[in-house]
A and B are shown apart, each in its own frame.
Chain A
Amino acid sequence: MKGDGWKEKMFMALTLVATLAGITILSALLALTFYEAVNWIDVQFLTSPPSRFPDRAGIYPSIVGTIMSMILVGVFSVPLGVGAAIYLEEYGRRSRFKQILEINISNLAAVPSIVYGLLGLGLFVSTLHIGAGSILAGSLTLSLLILPTVIVSSQEAIRAVPDSLREASIGLGASKWQTIRNVVLPSSIPGILTGVILSLSRAIGETAPLIMIGAATTIFTAPKSIFSTYSPLPMQIFMWTDMPKEEFLHGLAPAAIIVLLAIMLSMNALAIYLRNHYRKKLWG
């Protein structure tokens, strides 16, 4: 039996190693990136346009474009996603129709992002003639891309509101919509917000669909309106990995990556903060 105990420990160690392997490799790669980025991230980098000369290059236009686009994506995807989630949870409970809609939504969530790029190209650029590579075309495409995740996370938040609250409201004579507006939505907003911020922080890293709708690889001035073309931050990173000069691959690209990850991490932190903050407030 002694031999068996040894084998048991080995098996457990194997599962632990497998769990840690990916995390460890990622940490090492991130550490390398950070190490190479450190000397390049400064005020000049954050406030300059891209350049052929590594020392003068920066990401200012990309950051402005990326932020403008994320605001638009939020404006488009939140009302639509939350509206759909309210319908599915409050009006369409337990029907065949709802089941079909939900299967469709989960299928949409699994469509490769580059295919959404073709949708954006065909629908927004070719059919509706929204300028190729414009912030508007990019944001609409990304909105459709994250819509399924916004719907699903909003549904979860709405489902978490106890039925007793709804019944109390209906019992006081409130209509269905009044109940949703005054009772269900206020209690589910933290959950909805958390889901929205997490979806947005995914959208910010998307590159492939934006290449399809013709996003610029490099722009030198910050976009002025939502109809301007823009070069999303990941696009700029992609461009720099493709440049022949060593400084672009081992300096500027890591610096831009650290900025991108910092934006994503702060969004995730905000989502976690909101969730904890409101949870305490709501449930005591």
Chain B
Amino acid sequence: MNSSKKVTESLIKTVLLICTLLTVFVTFSIIYILLSESATFFLSVSPVEFFTGMKWTPTIKPYAYGVLPLVSGTLMITIGSALIAIPAGLLSAIYLSEYASERVRNILKPMLEILAGVPTVVYGFFAFAYITPFLKNLVPDLQAYNALSASIVVGIMIIPIVASISEDAIRAVPRSLREAGYALGARKPRVILTIVIPSALSGIIASFILGISRAIGETMAVTIAAGRTPRLANILNPADWTKSIETMTAAMVELGLSDVSGHSLAYKSLFAIGFTLFLMTLALNTVSYFVKMKYREVYR
């Protein structure tokens, strides 16, 4: 190799390395921006007030920056959507991996993936325009904006995440384990429920955590369907599900749409919520990653 060729080769390698390091730069930028803006926010509003305050009125006097109403709203959507996505996703994974023929699977799986591909603003529209009016026939007290409809569409949206990761985990269970079950005289549902599912449990749990993390970060569907009413909601009270709430992400949208100036506390509170949201989803994703690694190692 002559020397000019060598220079070109190492130059190209450097350029490609820079492209890769850009992803590290993105991570640090996210952390730096969230940290620096939240830091100036927490100089004016104590973290204690932020994390334990029960009132969220960043743009209306008297200003209050308590994140708990938003957390309770987020929790509601997360629990509501998990109640739909977890059973539906897991049962779908069982059907696709244990019952469906290769042909049926090749049709159903892409169809299921379309659920995740529909823009969330469209899901918001579905909930507000069709699901709420429909549910009003069953629940007369239902408000136009409510946590119930939003939870339903977010749940439908995250079924494919739960289904596809659970399916991977279920497929990784060796056939010999199933055959051992059949040899003992067990029938298919029993083999699935007592052998396959427990063996794939860490992968299945990882899929649940990932789905939940997606629900926490979901924005447009909950903004449109659940409304923007920051209110400390009681998750166990069915009546609270029929009313409007505000999630952390919806509060961010509201602040983003209002013309708060760059130096105001309201603007900075945007980053404080963003930082909280980032930490919550990062923690869940990390847990899910390690749980998933565990099942990968068992059957390698």
Query: Contact residues of A with B, CB < 8 Å?
Result: 4, 7-8, 11-12, 14-19, 21-23, 25-26, 29, 32-33, 79-81, 83-84, 86-88, 91-92, 101, 103-108, 110-119, 122-123, 126, 144, 147-148, 151, 175-177, 201-202, 204-208, 211-212, 214, 217, 234, 237-238, 241-242, 249-250, 253-254, 257, 260-261, 264, 268
Contacts and interface: CB of A to CB of B under 8 A. Distances in A.
B48 interface: no
Nearest to A88: B20
Given A19-B91, A112-B281, A115-B278, A208 B220 contact: yes
26 contacts: A8-B188, A11-B189, A12-B95, A16-B99, A18-B91, A19-B108, A23-B111, A29-B130, A32-B130, A80-B22, A84-B20, A104-B23, A107-B27, A108-B26, A110-B281, A112-B217, A112-B277, A113-B217, A175-B1, A205-B120, A208-B253, A212-B252, A237-B121, A241-B124, A241-B125, A253-B125
Contacts of A25: 156
B277 A114 contact: yes
A19 B213 contact: no
Interface of B: 1, 5, 8-9, 12-13, 15-20, 22-24, 26-27, 29-30, 33-34, 37, 87-88, 91-92, 94-96, 98-100, 108, 111-112, 114-115, 117-122, 124-126, 128-131, 156, 159-160, 163, 187-189, 192, 210, 213, 216-220, 224, 249, 252-253, 256-257, 262, 270-271, 274, 277-278, 281-282, 285-286, 289
Nearest to B159: A22
Contact of B33 (A119, A249, A268): A119
B274 A83 contact: no
Given A118-B33, A237-B125, A264-B117, A18 B95 contact: yes
Contacts of A254: 125, 129
Binding site secondary structure of chain B? helix
Given A14-B91, A26-B118, A241-B129, 7 more contacts: A21-B88, A84-B23, A86-B16, A104-B24, A177-B8, A177-B9, A241-B124
Nearest to B96: A19
Contacts of A268: 117
Contacts of B118: 26, 205, 261
Contacts of B156: 22, 25-26
A265 to B, nearest CB: 9
B7 to A, nearest CB: 11
B20 A92 contact: yes
A238 B221 CA distance: 10
B65 to A, nearest CB: 17
A7 B189 contact: yes
Residue of A101, A115, A123 with highest tally of chain B CB at under 10 A? A115
Given A84-B22, A175-B1, A253-B129, A108 B108 contact: no
A108 B23 contact: yes
Residue of B22, B192, B220 with highest tally of chain A CB at under 10 A? B220
Contacts of B108: 19, 23
Nearest to B6: A175
A25 B33 CA distance: 40
A85 B295 CA distance: 27
Given A15-B99, A106-B289, A207-B119, A119 B30 contact: yes
A87 B22 contact: no
Contacts of B286: 107
Given A91-B16, A151-B23, A112 B249 contact: yes
B19 A83 contact: yes
B17 A111 contact: no
A113 B188 CA distance: 41
B263 to A, nearest CB: 11
A111 B217 CA distance: 8
Contacts of A107: 27, 282, 285-286
Nearest to B249: A114
Contacts of A148: 23
Nearest to B156: A22
Contacts of A208: 120, 219-220, 249, 252-253
A248 B267 CA distance: 31
A211 B33 contact: no
Nearest to A80: B19
A274 B216 CA distance: 35
A250 B262 CA distance: 37
Contact of B115 (A4, A22, A83, A111): A22
B219 A114 contact: yes
A268 B281 CA distance: 29
A260 B117 CA distance: 12
Contact of B213 (A110, A201, A202): A110
A260 B24 CA distance: 33
